[in-house]
Amino acid sequence: MYGIFIGNHLEENNVGYIEHCCFSMQLSNMMAVSSLKACIHAIIPGCFPTSSTELKYSLNVMLH
């Protein structure tokens, strides 16, 4: 049953379940905040003008 939900993903990335969960939740939080900022920026262009670029750089550092 464990393999159905996780497969080889954790082994392929050499991480444990908790480490993977925390990292994925951190990414999710960053993207959710960035999404909200992008929505506000769409309506009020002066607000958060660099938030998407900042997210791009942050994700690049975290994922590479």
Q: Tell me the pLDDT band of 1, cut-offs 50, 70 and 90.
A: low
Q: Which domain holds residue 41?
A: 2-63
Domain count, the chain: 1
Tell me what pLDDT residue 39 has: 96
Nearest-angstrom CA–CA distance, 59 and 64: 8
Tell me what pLDDT residue 3 has: 66
Tell me what pLDDT residue 37 has: 97
Write the pLDDT tens digit of every residue in 2-59: 667 777 889 888 999 999 999 999 999 999 999 999 999 999 999 999 999 999 999 9
Q: Tell me the pLDDT band of 64, cut-offs 50, 70 and 90.
A: confident
35-39: Cβ within 8 A, 24+ apart: none
